[in-house]
Structure 1
Amino acid sequence: MAVLWWLLSLLVVLILPPSYHLATPSSGSGQLRRLWLQDHCSAGICTNVVIGRSDYVILSQAPIAGTTMLTFLNSSIAKIPHLLFDTFPDLQVLRMENCSLETFEKPQFEGASNLMSLFLGHNRLKDIPKNIFLGADNLATLHLQGNQLRQLGNHSFHALKEVKELSLAENQLEQISLGVFSGMRKLMDLNLAGNRLDALPRGVFDRNLNLTKLNLARNRFTAFESELLKLQPVFTQLDISGNIFQELTLNFTLLDVAIAHSCDLRRLTVYGVIQELDLHNNSLREMPHIPLAANVSSLDLSHNPLGNLQGNPLRRFTSLLRLNLSATGAHELPEGLFKKQSHLQMLDISGNSIYSLKITIFDSLKALQYFYFQQNNWNCDFLQLLMSSFVKRKDISFMEDITAPELVDDYVDGIACWYESDKQSKKCDSGGSDAAMELSVVRNEIKTFTELVEKKFVKVYRMLEELKMKL
């Protein structure tokens, strides 16, 4: 069939007068145009290419061998020309992102057996016709993010048996059919973030045994079932952030990374082995329950209302390398909080209201390399001791404060601090330290209010994005 189309195209090019071949896209419906990509392309980069939806485009009079990659920039291409893969028989990578692509037309990928990667993100595609990818038998990477897809049929991806990476993020999908991914036995990385999904059918991934990464962020899930991934022997990353889970239970034999930030989580339980856990910007008032916490190497609990963490809650997290406790509402930290964290390399306690600590709290942190403790209410005398006896002595990296000078008594190596009320302030009179303490309280109240506004802004922004998609 491809050869027949090619011969017919050559015949038309040779017979019709040049004025007909060079018609513009707006010169009529179904107009036949001759397009020389050589005039628009250099080293695989094509610019200012215009192809209307009604155009029938003849790209060249003969195949162009040796071109393995084409990237279209500043172009308006309503449809992929039928004979593109006959013109470029060696094409392995095709990038048509931000090209206003509207539709697929059969036989769209006939002759595309060498195509390995196809990037069609941020276009105007609304559906994927049945069996449209016939011919692209060796496609391994397919990106369709940022389109207007509303549904997928069971045969939308038929023939794509070699695909390992599929992105459908930032579309308008409301549901997924049970068999839509069943033919993709080699699928490893699936991105469904930024859609309108509130559930997935049980068994939807039962034939994707090689699936290792799944992104369900920014959808409308209120519950997540780990049973969806019960057949995958190795799973490396799950992202369910931006959904609403007040209570969540994860149950995996082995999971490298779990991302569940901005979910309004109040309670979390994790069974099985998990190595990295990102829970920032939730509503946790207690530590997550993780029976096998000794396997956790990275834990981000920042922007949760955890408070002072009494009762040695980190005693089971003996393998932590990174710990983030920024903006958790802490006024103090118990002396033995980091007693079991001898491997810890990065610790963040910034953005709290800590005034002073017992310096022995840091005795067990033998491997610490990065310590972030700015934006607290540090006492200047304690801060001097902390810098000289721990931070500088061990050559630990830290970050300077951004607090305005008029709001502080002093700085120690760039970190803001305040003096006690019975000591002379360097920048204030005898009542200055009381005023500084009042300013500290006001600053913390402003910070809490700002965080609340930011959370509400995220929700409003999501609503506006959904409204924008509808329009």
Structure 2
Amino acid sequence: MMGWLCLVLVLLLPASYQLATPSGNGQLRRLWLQDHCSAGICTNVEIGRSDYVILSQAPIPGLTMLTFINSSIAKIPHLLFDTFPDLQILRMENCSLETFEKPQFEGASNLMSLFLGHNRLKDIPKNIFLGADNLATLHLDSNQLKQLVNNSFHALKEVKHLSLADNQVEQLSPGVFGGMRKLQDLNLAGNRLEALPRGIFDRNLNLTKLNLARNRFTAFESELLKMQPLLTHLDISGNILQELTLNFSSLDVAVAHSCDLRRLTVYGVIRELDLHNNSLREMPHIPQAGNVSSLDLSHNPLGNLQGNPLRRFTSLLRLNLSATNAHELPEGVFKKQGHLQMLDISGNSIYSLKITIFDSLKELQYFYFQQNNWNCDFLQLLMSSFVKRRDISFMEDITAPELVDDYVDGIACWYESDKQSKKCESGGSDAAMELSVVRNEIKTFTELVEKKFVKVYRMLEEMKMKL
């Protein structure tokens, strides 16, 4: 740390600072970094776009990580990597960076990770990363980037993790990622992409994780990733994809929620599938459904799952059927799910079930069934003969007391219309039934409004970006 004592950062600033230079050729402010930095953490550092920055006297060896917090920095100091020759990690997030200056990364051969997220960068000049030959992680998320050209990432042959999320990128050149032969994790979420050029990933043979969420795709072609045998994680959520076909030999995780999906077909082996908040009225067609271990179908209008549509999903460990417009479930619907550990049927309108429906769920550990229209007598049976008997974890209800007849272990329920409510002994059961109907109507209306709100929010975000 004694090295900080000999480091002077000199900034050319307006004459109002009244600190004359020895040569008398202008006005200077001298900033001692030991007043702002400790153990590689620097706070309240200010560097303007027109400031001339000198990191001088002698290099400071041994410092491998430098982080700027609560700082206003419009550019990376030109001699930063000469001053810190051993620097491996540089974090300049939320620092108001506006531009790169050539040659920006001379002397940065030891730099391994560069985090420049949440700044104001508008473009990436060609060949700007020359010198950072060993960079493995680059985060440029939440900037104002609009276009990426073929030489934007020239010289970055060692990069494995690249994040360009939440920018304004509208198109990509076919060879923009061509030099990144070791690229494994690419995040393009939250941009304005409508399509990807053919062959864009043909040289990224090591790609394992790709995030294309929250763009403007209306179609997706698995053919774009035919050269990626190691791909395990694909996220295309938040796009408008009413029909979707995924064709991969194997995927660990596929995420396609909030896409307004009406129909989905999946070929090949897939382990985890997240499809919540879509418009599915039928189960996805998955010929090799026996390999699926996690399936999230919540907030889809699937209804009562007639015809035993889960019979091929024999390896499920987690199944989410929350808010799927179910009023009942067929008796044998879970007959093939002997390995199931988590089941969620909350947020539906289920009144009663045959208790034998759960007989095959020998491994169940978590069961979420709150926010339904449970009959109190059945609910007591469910709790005593299944949930408590097997020590299964569950979640209590949040339904207001004035809208229910009773609670069983924290789960709201109602009595038969011809029985007297335990809380309304003066014949209030009819009113309770009416309240139950009103509650269901309110819930259905709320879900509809939520879906419309998501669409309106997207439109407002797009208008905001244009403005």
The TM-score, its normalising length taken from structure 2, stands at 0.94
Secondary structure (helix, strand or coil) at the match of 1:450 reads helix
Query: 2:97 aligned to 91, 94, 101, which one?
Result: 101
* Structure-to-structure mapping, 1:194-233, within 5 angstroms: 194-233=190-229
Following superposition of structure 1 onto structure 2, how do residues 30-179 of structure 1 map, counting pairs within 5 Å?
34-179=30-175
1:24 to 2:20 alignment: no
Q: Residue 32 of structure 1: CA displacement? A: 6.9
Q: Which of 275, 282, 303 is the matching residue for 1:279?
A: 275
Q: Distance in 2 between matches of 1:34 and 1:239?
A: 49
Partner of 2:20: none
Distance in 1 (CA, whole Å) between partners of 2:27 and 2:122 is 24
- Separation of aligned partners in 1, 2:328 and 2:296: 19
Indicate if the aligned counterparts of 1:214 and 1:238 stay in contact, CA closer than 8 A.
Answer: yes
- In structure 2, the CA distance between the partners of 1:201 and 1:432, relative to structure 1 (3 Å rule), is same
SS at match of 1:256: strand
- In 2, the alpha carbon distance for the partners of 1:22 and 1:148 equals 27
2:391 corresponding residue in structure 1: 395
Deviation digits for residues 388-414 of structure 1, max 9, x if unmatched?
Answer: 000000000000000000000100000
Farther off after superposition, 179-188 or 450-459: 450-459
Q: 2:258 and 2:285 mapped to 1: Cα distance? A: 19
Determine the C-alpha separation between the residues in 2 that align with 1:84 and 1:412. Answer: 65
Unaligned runs of 5+ in 1: 1-9
Using the TM superposition, give the Cα deviation of residue 23 of structure 1 relative to its aligned residue in structure 2, in angstroms.
Answer: 4.6
Moved more, 319-328 or 32-41: 32-41
Matches within 5 A, 1:251-262: 251-262=247-258
Structure 1 position 415 matched with structure 2 position 404:
no
The answer to whether the aligner puts 1:240 opposite 2:236 as a matched pair is: yes
Partners of 1:35 and 1:57 within 8 A in 2: no
CA shift for structure 1 position 444 = 1.4
Would you say 1:329 and 2:325 are equivalent positions? yes
Counterpart CA distance in 2 for 1:451 and 1:421 is 27
Cα contact 1:380–1:419 (8 A) shared by 2: yes
Q: Deviations over 1:187-235 (max 9, x none)?
A: 0000000000010011100000000100000000000000111111111
The superposition leaves residues 317-372 of structure 1 with CA deviations (integer Å, 9 ceiling, x where unpaired) of 00000000000000000000000000000000000000000000000000000000
SS in 2 for 1:464: helix
* Other-structure match for 2:424: 428
Alpha-carbon shift at residue 242 of structure 1 (Å) = 0.4
Cα distance in 2, alignment partners of residues 36 and 60 from structure 1: 11
Map 1:377-392 to 2 at 5 A.
Answer: 377-392=373-388
TM-score by length of 1: 0.93
* Partner secondary structure for residue 467 of structure 1: helix
Q: Give the whole-Å Cα distance in 2 for the aligned partners of 1:186 and 1:446.
A: 52
- Name the counterpart of 2:180: 184
RMSD of aligned Cα (Å): 1.9
Letter paired with 1:323: L
Cα contact 1:25–1:55 (8 A) shared by 2: no
Aligned-pair CA distance for 1:33: 6.0
CA contact (8 A) 2:12 2:52 kept: no
The residue type paired with residue 348 of structure 1 is D
Number of residue pairs matched? 455
Alignment partner of 1:267 out of 246, 259, 263: 263
CA distance in 2, matches of 1:420, 1:262: 37
Contact kept, 8 Å, 2:291 with 2:313, in 1: the verdict is yes
The one of 234, 246, 251 equivalent to 1:250 is 246
My pick for the range that moved more, 420-429 or 334-343, is 420-429
1:271-298 per-position Cα deviation (integer Å, ceiling 9, x unaligned): 0000000000000000000000000000
Residue 348 of structure 2 corresponds to 352
1:235 is paired with a residue whose SS is: coil
Residue 21 of structure 2 corresponds to none
Task: State the partner residue of 1:294.
Answer: 290
> Aligned-pair distance for 1:466?
3.1
Matched to 2:127, the amino acid is N
User: What is the SS of the residue equivalent to 1:337?
Assistant: coil
* Shift, 1:269, TM fit: 0.3
Structure 2 distance, partners of 1:272, 1:139, is 35
Query: What fraction of aligned residue pairs are identical, expressed as a percent?
Result: 90
Asked if the contact 2:305/2:330 (under 8 Å) is kept, the reply is: yes
CA contact (8 A) 1:85 1:112 kept: yes
Choose from 306, 311, 325 the match for 1:315: 311
* Deviation of the 1:453 alpha carbon: 1.7
Question: Do the aligned residues in 1 keep the contact of 2:13 with 2:51 (CA within 8 Å)?
Answer: no
Given that 2:12 and 2:53 are in contact with CA atoms closer than 8 Å, whether structure 1 keeps it comes out as no
SS in 1 for 2:171: coil
- Measure, in 1, the Cα distance between the counterparts of 2:15 and 2:377: 76
Q: Which residue of structure 2 lines up, in the alignment, with residue 303 of structure 1?
A: 299
| Cα distance in 2 between the residues matched to 1:349 and 1:31 | 70
